Each structure stands twice: as C-alpha cells, then as structure tokens.
Homo-oligomer: A and B are copies of this chain.
Amino acid sequence: MNAPLPTHLLPVIAQREVPQALIDALKARFGANCSTAQVIREQHGRDESAYADVPPPAAVVFAESTQDVSDAVKLAGQYQTPVIPFGVGSSLEGHLLAVQGGISIDVGRMNKVLHINAEDLTVTVQAGVCRKALNEEVKSTGLFFPIDPGADATLGGMSATRASGTNAVRYGTMRENVLALEVVTASGEVIRTGTRAKKSSAGYDLTRLMVGSEGTLGVITEVTLKLYPIPEAISAATCSFPSIAQAVNTTIQLIQLGVPIARVELIDSNTVRMVNAHSKLGLREEAMLLMEFHGSPASVKEQAETVQELATDNGGQAFEWATTPEARTKLWTARHNAYFAAIQSKPGCRAISTDTCVPISRLADCLLDSVAEADASGLPYFLVGHVGDGNFHFGYLIDPNNAAERQTAEELNHKLVHRALQLEGTCTGEHGIGLHKQDFLITEAGSGAVQMMRTIKHALDPHNIMNPGKIFSW
C-alpha cells in the first residue's frame, strides 16, 4: 500500500458526508448502474498520480446517456454532494480522487461515435469514446484524429484536461481541436457550446472555458472534434546524439525554421538504457530524437532532408528511417515503452511526473539544468519530451513508502517549475493542475487571475459540487 501523501502536498481535504438518502435515490434511479461495491469505488477513487490513501467515492454511477449524467448531477446537487467525472482513470494529477467525498460518474459506457462528417473533417463522439477506438472508427474515411497523449484516454477526459502529447507540435492540442461540446452543468442542465463551423465569434468561448476545466465547471458528455486527412506520405526517423544538448539544439533549430514536423520526441540516454533492459533492444544508449513527417511525398522528403542536415550539423548519428506502418511502430517502440520500462526498473516504485513547457528558445536552459539537478540528486528518473512544443516530462521514480525520496522528487519538481516560470513558461503543458500544482498555478498566473477563475467557479457552481478541490481551493 502506498504511504499517505505528506499533508503539505495535498490540498485541504474536507470530506463531506454522502447522505444515505442520496445513495438510495441513485440506486432507485440507476439500479445496477449505481454501485457501492468497495472494489468499484476504489477503482474509481484513484488514478495514475502518486497520491494514495484518499477514501474512495461513496458510489459510482455508470452513465449510459447524457440524461443519466444530468439526473445524477441533479440528485447529487439536492444533497450538495460532490460529483467526479471518470473516463478511464489515466489522470496523472489526482483529478479523480474524491478529496471531498462524493460520487463518481463513470462515462465509459457513453462510447458511441455519434456522427462522422468526413466531408467537413469533423466527428462528434460521446465523452467516453477512447482515442484509439475513435481512430479505428474513422479510419475507413481516410481521416484521423491526431492528439495522442500516450494513454488511451477518453475524449471527454482529454478535453477536460486540455491534453495534447505527440503530434501537438503540428496539429495543436485539445484547445485547438475541440469545436463544440455538450456539457451537463452544476445544476444538471444540458448545454451546448460551439457549432461545427470552423470558426465563430458568437459570444464567450464557453467551449474553451470548459476545455481544461478539469470537471470543475461541468461534466462533458459530447465532444465535436476536428479530423485530418491521413497524410499521403508518413515517414519516421530516429537519430542519436552524443549529448542531450545536441538533441535539444536540433529541435530548437527545426522549430525555428518552421519545419512542419508532426512529431519530435526526446528520450534521454538514461531512459534509452531502461528501454533496452525492458524490451531487449540494442539501441545506442544516447539521447535520441524520434521524429515523424507528414505530408505529400515531396514535402515529407523535403522536411526529412532539412532535419537530417540539421541533426548531422549538431552531431546526430545513427539515423534510422521507416515508412511502412509496421516499421514506424517498431521505431517508436522505445518511446511507447519508456514509461513501463522506467516503472519496472525499480520494482514497487511510482513516478512523480513533471510537465513544464517553455518557449522553444528556452528549452535548453530549462532542460539541461534540470537534468544536472536530477543527476546530482541520485534519484532514478526517466525523461521524455514533446520537445518541439518545449514540453518535457521527468518521471522521478520514488519508493512511495520512502518519505525522503518523495521529498527529493518534490524539490526537483519545485526547482524545475520555478525555472520554467522564470523562462516565461508554464508549470503544466498538458497534464492539468489537479491536486498537485495548485501552488504553482498561483505563482504562474498570479493571484488576480486565479481569483478570476475562482469567481467563475463560484458563479457557475455555487455549492461547489463539481469535482471540488481541484485546480484551486474554494
């Protein structure tokens, strides 16, 4: 079992009692789709964060429709009981923890792709559709949805955390790719934000207010997304560098040149070693860039040539290329396995993941000093990055029972975040604030801006029932 989180790291927990009358009402309304089984509750009371020992939600409602979500929120509202939307549980920031008690609304069964409008490059899905399933479903139209945060997350969850990942360097994040939403508000009302038009100046941008609101303003029930034509040509490459600085400088230069690269991912030598051990690969144990180029055959060729030249100038070696889907998948193995390889390198560990993002010219300043600090700490870590966006993740591997290790990891994270903020960056490129970064948010945005967020929250959710305790204190 994991150790309790040091209290200074966890926002104040004021567990609210969930009245039996609410549980009874939910059971009456939802029957078997409302569960109070311990195992189900526990499964919905944790996520991929390093938090533990928070009591699980009192009940889980498996919603099968927007009406279900609305009814569950209305019932919870009658008792001023928190509701926590749940997709697949892949949050890294404690979004799913019932820190103030309440019920979980699992939208996983709302997994229908509702409308594919191939001729407009849009698709509307229920919030519980996962990104891989979406891509399977739209494949026959010649289109794809590019946002890939690693986990096979739900589109509702990805919207709620403003997720991104690989491919964002070219295609943007959920901020740019959500056109419209259906949302159940704190009062249980169902609203729609946005339309299928590509752009609009019609009033406040409620779509983007909801995207990234981490369940604190409403439960997302439907998402309309942009799709993209599957590129005529796709080519992938890996390249190794004697030093991480050279890999980073190559990245900075290719972005500054405006190369429309689709993916440019960094793995440090340390992580390559873990991957080699885990997957029995023979990769050069050096910093590595993994890249992907999308476009017409001519444009892909041109991009690849430019990048190869830049990389070679920076000391890049051992280029490997792949153009078939199978070869590309193989080439990307190291990236896909990095997290698991790292976790398995230290049995029983958990990863405390950082998520800073800085302007591209500051990437080397931000990253290299942090590598030096992590190395000096003696704590094992992995390091991967969506470096084309200036975003990277250290995963400090801690024994959750070892308070000193947790402390060291938090100190490293703290230094890294403050460095990123000094460099005009953000504490979170894509994971969200959740429980873990609330102090950082105040430092980053300023108390005035956070107070504005809070004012909006108070106005839209006056009883603080929508995923309370996340992003900021009430």
Contacts and interface: CB of A to CB of B under 8 A. Distances in A.
Contact of A205 (B175, B358, B431, B455): B175
Tell me the number of copies of this protein.
Answer: 2
A164 B424 CA distance: 27
Contacts of A120: 359-362
A122 B358 CA distance: 12
A429 interface: yes
A342 interface: no
From A163, A192, A202, A360, residue with most partner B Cβ within 10 Å: A202
A204 B216 CA distance: 10
A67 interface: no
Given A176-B172, A212-B205, A424-B196, A455 B459 contact: yes
A203 B472 contact: yes
Given A298-B299, A359-B120, A199 B173 contact: yes
B445 A202 contact: yes
Contacts of A245: none
Contacts of A208: 175, 205, 208-209
Contacts of A9: none
Nearest to A253: B119
A191 B426 contact: no
A453 B203 contact: yes
B206 A201 contact: no
A224 to B, nearest CB: 9
A246 to B, nearest CB: 18
Contacts of A450: 203
Contacts of A229: 257-258
B390 A198 contact: yes
Nearest to A360: B120
A407 interface: no
A167 to B, nearest CB: 12
Given A256-B119, A459-B455, A459-B456, A201 B197 contact: no
A451 to B, nearest CB: 8
A211 B205 contact: yes
A460 interface: yes
Contact of A460 (B426, B437, B456): B456
Given A120-B359, A229-B257, A449-B192, A201 B433 contact: yes
A452 interface: yes
Interface string A194-231: 01111111111110110111000100000000001100
A201 B163 contact: yes
Contacts of A211: 205
A360 B118 CA distance: 11
A471 B203 CA distance: 6
Interface in A335-360: 355, 357-360
A164 B437 contact: no
A229 B254 CA distance: 12
A125 to B, nearest CB: 16
Nearest to A455: B459
A175 B228 CA distance: 19
Contact of A444 (B195, B198, B445): B195
A396 to B, nearest CB: 20
Interface of A: 117, 119-122, 161-164, 168, 172-173, 175-176, 185, 189-193, 195-206, 208-209, 211-213, 217, 228-229, 252, 256-258, 295-296, 298-299, 302, 355, 357-362, 389-391, 420-421, 424-433, 437, 440-441, 444-446, 448-450, 452-453, 455-456, 458-460, 471-472
Given A185-B452, A458-B459, 8 more contacts: A168-B199, A185-B448, A189-B448, A193-B445, A197-B357, A202-B428, A204-B213, A452-B460
27 contacts: A162-B199, A172-B199, A173-B199, A175-B199, A176-B176, A190-B448, A195-B425, A197-B420, A197-B424, A197-B429, A198-B359, A198-B389, A200-B429, A201-B355, A201-B430, A202-B440, A203-B471, A203-B472, A204-B209, A205-B208, A205-B212, A206-B445, A206-B449, A209-B456, A229-B258, A456-B459, A458-B459
Q: Which 7 A-B pairs have the closest CB atoms?
A: A459-B459, A208-B208, A119-B361, A229-B258, A200-B426, A120-B359, A191-B448
